[in-house]
Amino acid sequence: MEAIWNTPAVIAHTQRLARSLKHFTQRDLLAENFSAVELAKNIFHAPFVLVSHGTEADPVLNYGNAAALALWEMPWAELTRTPSRLTAEAPNREERARLLTAVTANGFIDNYSGIRISKTGRRFRIAQATVWNLLDERGTFSGQAAMFSRWEFL
């Protein structure tokens, strides 16, 4: 089986994640300059969580690195079929929706914190997350991403 990060779609999506973060925040996903394949591999195996979703009416997750897969306790095939709203418990979904509206309007936000829930019901608080809009190669809105390296189980 081919590594998740080593498929043309994931390599291209990783470049979109990096390019969009740089566009909105002037920051790099990783400090070093990597080839497209190396970037995809290193981001997938990074010590931080990185997830993204698309532009569907009920946005579906379309990327999660290894840290995200472990935290949400899902394999890639399941994560990438999951509506992103299901990563938060029902009482926290309204707050999550407000966050995403603010990101859409402003391009990104820093220092987001909130409660999320894994597939098995494990609750955790994320802290100091950066959430940003994704732009495709033409500069068209193509979803949103979140990255964080701080979380605690509740």
CA torsion 105→14→82→143, rounded to 10°?
20
Structure token digits, residue 135 = 């732009």
Digit-coded pLDDT (tens) for 89-124: 877 788 878 888 888 889 999 989 999 999 999 999
Own/partner long-range contacts of 52-55 (Cβ < 8 Å, ≥24 apart):
52/13, 52/17, 52/134, 52/143, 52/144, 52/145, 52/146, 53/84, 53/143, 53/144, 53/145, 54/142, 54/143, 55/141, 55/142, 55/143
Tell me the pLDDT of the chain averaged across its residues: 94
- List helix spans (H) across 26-145: 36-44, 66-72, 76-79, 93-106
Q: CATH for 4-153?
A: 3.30.450.20
Nearest to 68 by CA among 89, 90, 53: 53
What's residue 32's pLDDT?
A: 87
Q: Which amino acid makes up residue 73?
A: E
What's residue 1's pLDDT?
A: 54
Digit-coded pLDDT (tens) for 53-101: 999 999 999 999 999 999 999 999 999 999 999 998 877 788 878 888 8
3-class SS of residue 27: coil
pLDDT band (50, 70, 90) for residue 132: very high
Residue whose tokens read 């098995």: 120
Nearest to 68 by CA among 112, 133, 116, 101: 116
Domain ranges in the chain are 4-153
